[in-house]
Structure 1
């Protein structure tokens, strides 16, 4: 296990990441035309974007993303009041390498690291369906990610980028099967195992994934499992629906809300969690896109000031003012409910401008 982690850690620092187009559909849209031909069927393409965010919070200071909703009302939560911030943290840089025999590589980072430093996002290799390195967990669907201005997105779906070894078989019509051995999200010395089955539709897809973990969190052993169901459907001209449902035990930290402590295990028993998210978007014309995302998460055991449930809604708009330049606006409202029934809420208005290269 130690060798496995050191190998993937080295790849994160010095390796070029490699990704299949299916797993990086979102990044494909941001790919730069700046490509260098190195000969021998090897090319390097640079890509990324600059994004400036202007944020106003009312209720609690949620921080750089809406992930702070999980702590409002607690001593560790943001202070009460109205707050504003400006940031460039989501700004992203990276490059891809394409080589012979279907070789594809990606290295990518953003500025959400400590003290706004450059942070690794992706560093992995994909060759004939085998991925080695840091990539999205196989338990989540990248195609299903909500259309939000907020970097955090929906709190309800599985979300992590971890070192892993994954194999995807795509030899059937419209069907792919993938399995992975991954570094556990919370304990880097342990492993998590996943399987996923995807069926492609004419205007979308459906996907089912399973996860098993047996790990140690501070002071406790967590034996957990999870099932994720996700789907994307084309509704009508320009309309799209994304649906996501997750259930399991001892996986509250793997769901995007990132709950830990008593949300994972109580009295030696893994805590059950259920979450759901729904996004409906409309491409109004070639410039304007609108989206609504609602999500909900509930823990099967809670008491006192422990989190019992979380819910939120994003109302989002994206307008391409020039080629590769997009103006964005979003209203967000989130609520946290404790085991004792006490509720806390906070609102956010976020404006942004993004230039992709």
Structure 2
């Protein structure tokens, strides 16, 4: 019973008592002075009792603890859970962004094929080599628009988080002639509790916090470790370890063709150390893999190991430098959206791990609270054996990026990025890409 209800009930009782006493007062002229004094004393005793009861109720109300204040910006929600099947106290949240990308692209070694991901963002493996300059192409899309949903619960002092995220980068269900429809693509789907995580998310070998502030989907793609996949991860303080879904990309013997092998029976294993401070963060991660490919006549496997160092260094309130340097064997599918293969295939079917390395450095500067920009350089190289791969495979790529991003209103970005990219083959031929990438993005 709340305070207002109790007060109203006490007031009603007092009114009833007074109403009961009224007839007696009306007949006071027939009563003796002694009777009147006794009646008044009785009424005073009743009123005093009601007053004591009200004061006791006030004291009990004041002794109760005040409700905890809501966090800044939070809005009160219903007392019961939104989903009847959810644990009591589960908090739901959602967000994402709408993003329009527009790109003018010129390549001097041929045209990037229509429908290729290289028409949607900077993907160095798709830069044409050996063809003619066909002029500029304009592409516009909203496929990288994104939506996420989260459910957070605390049970017995233990936090549980469920998270799912998707974008529209799925296969086309229509065409650019009419509908421009695309399928929803799963990005993340995981649950975490205490020190554990299970599901699909960024590889533990990747440092998401070091990614530059770019207009392009990634920016310095060739130098970036970029993989999302299913895993089980354990984190304890600055250390984290994971076992992740394995997959092997094999460069077919004397061919540019690649064999995607799912014959692995050992997961990819990672270990990471992360140090955070006021000046930024530094992290080093290791990767150990089994490279494996089976046919009807052979069962070939090879071990591979790689290392990645990355971080962010704050130079002041308006400047920071972000960087990443990775190298080792079997790094192919983890670097630059599978820029290189994991292994090379010999004539007898045996595998040899392909060595490679790549990295980037990016400087970000905030000119005003509404205007910022970044300058980036990125490169990658692979040590192909021409006797195994031939001369038409990618040997090296590099790119330079410069952008400006203006935010006229909170959470709205209008940006432009200039990209100069180059891809070189093992035979020495190269192709160049020049692109102006513009975007409008609203985070919600």
TM range (shorter): 0.7 to 0.9
Q: 2:168 aligns with which of 108, 111, 120?
A: 111
| Secondary structure, aligned partner of 1:207 | strand
Point out the more displaced range, 341-350 or 152-161: 152-161
| Inter-partner Cα distance in structure 1 for 2:210 and 2:435 | 23
Query: For 1:89-122, what per-residue CA distance to the aligned partner results, in whole angstroms no more than 9, with x for missing partners?
Result: 1100111111112222211000111112110000
Greater shift, 186-195 or 224-233, is seen at 186-195
The answer on whether the counterparts of 1:183 and 1:189 sit within 8 Å (CA) in structure 2 is no
Pair 1:42 & 2:90 matched: yes
* Structure 2 runs not aligned, ≥5 long: 1-72, 82-87, 113-117, 173-181, 249-260
Equivalent residues in 2 for 1:71-110 (5 A)?
Answer: 71-73=126-128, 80-100=134-154, 101-110=158-167
Mapped to 1, the partners of 2:218 and 2:385 lie a distance apart of 24
Q: Which has the higher contact order (CA 8 A, sep 6+)?
A: 1
Between Structure 1 and Structure 2, how many residues are aligned?
A: 318
CA distance in 2, matches of 1:90, 1:34: 30
Match of 1:291 among 363, 367, 374: 374
Q: CA deviation at 1:189?
A: 5.8
TM-score of the two chains, using structure 1 as the length reference: 0.83
Name the SS of the counterpart of 2:356 in structure 1: strand
Deviation for aligned residue 1:260: 4.3
**CA positional deviation for 1:225:** 1.3
Normalised by the size of structure 2, how large is the TM-score? Answer: 0.67
The yes-or-no answer on 1:230 pairing with 2:310 is yes
Q: Distance in 1 between matches of 2:206 and 2:187?
A: 15
Change in Cα spacing, 1:183 to 1:33, as seen in structure 2 (3 Å) is farther
Aligned to 2:193: 127
How far, CA to CA, are the matches of 1:41 and 1:105 in structure 2? 14
Structure 2 counterpart of 1:265 = 344
Matched, 1:137 2:203: yes
Tell me by how many angstroms 1:136 deviates.
0.2
Is the strand fraction higher in 1 or 2?
Answer: 1
Q: 2:76 & 2:126 partners in 1: Cα distance?
A: 44
Aligned to 2:412: 325
Pairing 1:70–2:118 present: no
Does the 8 Å CA contact 2:263/2:294 hold for their aligned counterparts? no
Q: 1:222 Cα deviation (Å)?
A: 4.4
- Give the match's secondary structure for 2:204: coil
Change (3 A) 1:315 1:328: same
Gaps in structure 1 of 5+ consecutive residues: 1-31, 171-175
Distance across 2 between alignment mates of 1:66 and 1:83: 14
* Counterpart Cα distance in 2 of 1:270 and 1:78: 34
| Mapped contact 2:286–2:308 kept (Cα < 8 A) | yes
Match of 2:231 among 144, 164, 167: 164
Matched position secondary structure for 1:114: coil
User: How far apart are the structure 2 equivalents of 1:73 and 1:323?
Assistant: 39
For the 8 Å contact 1:222–1:250, the answer to whether it is kept is no
For residues 195 and 240 of structure 1, what CA distance do their matches in structure 2 show?
A: 26
State the 1:33 CA deviation.
7.3
Look up the match of 2:424: 337
2:119 partner SS: coil
1:70 aligned counterpart, secondary structure: helix
- Distance in 2 separating the partners of 1:79 and 1:125: 49
Aligned position for 2:5: none
CA contact 1:36–1:43 (8 Å) conserved in 2: no
Alpha carbons 1:156, 1:257 under 8 Å: kept:
no
Higher helix fraction: Structure 1 or Structure 2? 2
Aligned 8 A contact 2:291 2:330 in 1:
no
Which of 277, 280, 288 matches 1:204?
A: 280
Say whether the 8 Å CA contact 2:129–2:429 is kept in structure 1: no
Would the alpha carbon gap of residues 307 and 117 (structure 1) be closer, same or farther in structure 2, given more than 3 Å must change? Answer: same
Equivalent residue of 1:66, what SS?
Answer: coil
Higher-Rg structure is: 2
> Aligned partners of 2:150 and 2:415: how far apart in 1?
27
Distance 1:228 1:276 in 2: 9
By how many angstroms is 1:325 displaced? 1.2
Cα 1:275–1:133, aligned 2, differ >3 Å: closer, same or farther? same
